[in-house]
Structures are given as structure tokens and as C-alpha cells.
Chain A
């Protein structure tokens, strides 16, 4: 089986749906069937399968989409599964910082949180996690895209817009395609000169700690945080990081709330 063949995943989903339908149909004599255990087994199997497939091919969209389907179909996006999946995929993302699809999976998990306060708590943690990744692994488009998605989710949450996963994926797609057209639109400055220019505006130069949703969505504060990330990046990587930082600032400026 090719780990990225879409037909294979379509077939897997058919099998799972078929098995559970048969299970319900077969229960004619009032026997209590332990569907929870079977569901958990199926869930574990599909998760392990998609993890293996995701390892086999970089940014394996089909493997991660299948994982999303599994969370929706088998776990009904229960709060427990969302939590455990956020925890389970943390080390994966740390080991695969350019895996766009893995990061989009985390965006899906966040966006499915029904309770606003829980979502906001997780967003805060995710921003902190991402800050660390951006500094440790400079210059990865997937990480900066993830930041855009988190910002978007935070704004949606604050405006009480609810969970619009489909819209978010489209937004991400259009962000990605709009990025490919922007190849170094600004004259490259010497590495470090932008940092020098703005140092006086960020005071101590320490990372700005987030404590509330209002701080998360404030564009001026977000710009400060992005600059703090650039300043924390080691000099040898600052040139590539600066390119991504500038594109992010442009995106923030264009972002319509």
C-alpha cells in the first residue's frame, strides 16, 4: 500500500463504516455489544496507521486527512480525544517542522474545541509552543503558516464566530498560494539591521508573554512578539528568518478582522 494513495484511504474508510454499520444491524437479539471497546480499538488502529503513513512521506496530506476523518467519525471529536491528540502530536511536530499537514491537523484539533475558554487556553499554550519552535528551527514556512492559522483562530474565537474548519482550510490554502507569489518583494537589508532599527521599540527585547485572548489578537502586540522571535534567532540564521518575519508582518497588515 502506498502511504499516500488516496484510493487506499477511501477504501479504509469504507471498511470502517461498513464494519460499524454491520455491527449495529447485527444486534437483533438485545445483546449488549461492547462497541466502546471496539471503537477504541478501531481508533487506535487508524491512528497508528496514519502515523506510520505520515512518517513515510513528507507532508502526507492523505494520511493526515484520514486522521482527521478518524477523529470525526470514530471519536466524534470528543474533548478527551482532542486533548490526547494535541499531546500525542506535539513531539511529532517538533521532529517534523516542515510538515504542513501535521500542523494543519493541530489547527483542526484546536478549532473543534466546543468550549471557548478551553480553546483559548490551548491557543495560549500553542502560541508558546510555536514561539519556541520558530526560534529553534528558523526559516520554516510551515511554522510561520501555523502562526497565521493560530492568529486567525484566536480572532474567530474572540469574535464568537464558532468552528469553521472548512473555511479555515480554504483560508490556509489561499494564504499559501498568495505567499508563493511574494518572492523577496522588499530590498534585502543587511542581516541584523532591521533588528537594530526596532530594538528601541521592544524595550528589554525579552519575549512578550501572552496571558489573554485580547493580547493574542492585538495586532501591535503580535508584531512585537514576531519581532522578539526574530531577535531571539541566532545571527547565523537571522537572514532567512527575517524574510519570513517580513512576510508575516505584511500578512498581519492585510488581515481583515
Chain B
């Protein structure tokens, strides 16, 4: 059961920017690590772009699932996990994390924070802390506030895109992905094994 990444993003008027992120790349092979990180960052930006404020979604993509929550103040959180990681725990810690972020980093500064530049250590702390949900579970089982909240499920990232939008095009146009990662994506797509965890 694995928590691969936690990302905190701001859904601004024109674009989505990553304020802070933390990654655990231990499950990825040596040569895949940097591409895996880039793809997770890219994916988290796309899913936040496609999530309305106030909503929660879970998107499956091959071996991993992205759980995303965008608050009504446009602060967004993404947790990228494997299919064993309990979604309820992911959404619960995301609530806590975003509250903590909002307390420590004034909202007025969010639009101007450079990419990944927020002065906040909570993301990597939570990534370590919540890697094993059974340790965190004593706390989360008591939290009923999530129970009535609806989570929209998506079988693929593509189902979140607009009509006519293609994931291939978004990958090609993206600044977040290196040319190496884009080439990797094309090859992996042919062999139907994009970002498979070895």
C-alpha cells in the first residue's frame, strides 16, 4: 500500500500552479524516477484544473489513483496513491494538510508563489506520516465529517477532459514534462505500460 505523492496547488483564474509537493519515488526503478515525478506533477495539475471548487474526485490511471480536493478558496490538494491505499484516509489527511497550509501561508500570497516555492514543510511531513494508514487510522476512524461527502469517480484521466481534448496533446504541449519524459510516454503508450511500477 503506497502513497506516492502529495501536492498542494492553487487554482488561479488563468492557470493552476503547484505551491508545494512531496514525492516518494522508492517504488520506481532508478531510470524511471525523474519521469515518474514529472508525470505525477503534470497529472496533479490537470486534475485540479478539471475539478470545480468545493468538489472531490478520484481518478484511476493505470496502477495509481489520484484523489483530488479543491476548496472553495481555490486551494487544491492531490494525493497520488496505489489502489490499496484507503481513499477515506487520503481525503481526511488532505483536509488537515490544506487547513495547516492555509494557517501557515497567507492566502494573499498564493497567486504569487513561484512553482513549488511555498515555505511549508507539511507536505513531506504528511507523506512520511501517512505512508502507513494503520498508524494514522486511529485518528481517521473517528472522523465522520467526510462520511456524507460525495466523491466523483473517474476510470481514466481522459474522462475528465473536455470533449475533443486528448491527453496526448496535453502531454506534448506541457512545460512540466521534459522531452525525455514525453518520449518515454510515447514509447510506454505503444507497449501499453505507461509508468508501470516495477
* Chain B residues in 8 Å Cβ range of A136: 86, 133-134, 137, 141
CB-based contact A236/B133 at 8 Å: no
Convert B133-154 into 0s and 1s, putting 1 for each residue whose CB lies closer than 8 angstroms to a CB of A. 1100100010010111101000
Name B86's closest neighbour in chain A (CB-CB).
A137
> Quick check: is B182 within 8 A (CB to CB) of the other chain?
no
Binding-face segment, A26-34, A95-103, A199-207, A249-257:
A95-103
- Minimum CB–CB distance for B98 against chain A, Å: 18
- Residues 63-100 of chain B, each 1 if its beta carbon lies under 8 Å from chain A, else 0: 00000000000000000000110111001000000000
Question: Known: A95-B132, A136-B133. Contact between A234 and B84, CB under 8 A?
Answer: no
Closest to B85 in A: A137
Knowing A138-B86, A140-B84, A236-B149 are in contact, say whether A96-B137 is a contact too (CB < 8 A).
Answer: no
User: Does A237 reach chain B (CB closer than 8 Å)?
Assistant: yes
Known contacts A96-B1, A97-B1: A236-B87 contact under CB 8 Å: yes
Chain A min CB distance to B157 (Å): 22
Q: Say whether chain B's binding surface is mostly helix, strand, loop, or mixed.
A: loop
A98, A235, A237: the one within 8 Å of B84 (CB): A98
B-side interface residues, number (CB < 8 Å): 19
A234 touches B88 (CB 8 A): yes
Which of chain A's residues have a CB closer than 8 A to the CB of B151? 236
In chain B, positions 15-46 with a C-beta closer than 8 Å to chain A are none
Q: Does B14 have its Cβ within 8 Å of any Cβ on chain A?
A: no
Among A97, A140, A234, A237, the most chain B Cβ lie within 10 Å of the Cβ of A234
In the bound complex, what is the Cα–Cα distance between A246 and B123 (angstroms)?
Answer: 39
**The residue from A94, A98, A138, A140 contacting B134, defined by CB atoms under 8 A apart:** A94
Question: With a CB–CB cut-off of 8 A, which chain A residues contact B84?
Answer: 96-98, 137, 140
Q: Which of B1, B134, B147 contacts A234 (CB 8 A)?
A: B147
Q: Quick check: is A6 within 8 A (CB to CB) of the other chain? A: no
| A235 partner residues in chain B, CB cutoff 8 A | 144, 147-148
Are A236 and B83 interface neighbours, CB within 8 A? no
Say how far B127's CB is from chain A's closest CB, in angstroms: 16
**Is A49 on the interface with B (CB-CB < 8 A)?**
no
In the complex, chain A residues whose CB is within 8 Å of the CB of B148:
235
Contact between chains at A236 and B147 (CB < 8 Å): yes
Mark interface residues in A1-42 (1 if CB within 8 Å of B CB, else 0). Answer: 000000000000000000000000000000000000000000
Instruction: Return the contact of B88 from the options A94, A97, A237 (Cβ within 8 A).
Output: A237
B109 at the interface (CB under 8 A from A): no
Q: Is B191 an interface residue when CB atoms closer than 8 A count as contact?
A: no
Complex Cα spacing A235 to B88, Å: 10
Q: Are B198 and A95 within 8 A (Cβ)?
A: no
Interface residues of A in 203-257 (CB under 8 A from B): 234-237
By the criterion CB–CB under 8 Å, are B83 and A98 in contact? yes
* A 128-142 binary contact with B (CB < 8 Å = 1; else 0): 000000011110100
Contact with B along A38-72 (1 / 0, CB 8 A): 00000000000000000010000000000000000
Which residues of B lie under 8 Å from residue A234 when comparing CB positions? 88, 141, 144, 146-147
Query: Are A236's CB and B146's CB within 8 A?
Result: yes
27 contacts between A and B (CB under 8 A): A94-B134, A95-B1, A95-B132, A96-B84, A97-B1, A97-B84, A98-B83, A135-B141, A136-B134, A136-B137, A136-B141, A137-B1, A137-B84, A137-B86, A138-B86, A140-B84, A234-B141, A234-B144, A234-B146, A235-B144, A235-B147, A235-B148, A236-B88, A236-B147, A236-B149, A236-B151, A237-B88
* Interface residues in chain B, defined as those with a beta carbon under 8 Å from any beta carbon in chain A: 1, 83-84, 86-88, 91, 132-134, 137, 141, 144, 146-149, 151, 198
**7 A-B pairs closest in CB distance:** A235-B147, A95-B1, A98-B84, A97-B84, A236-B88, A234-B88, A136-B137
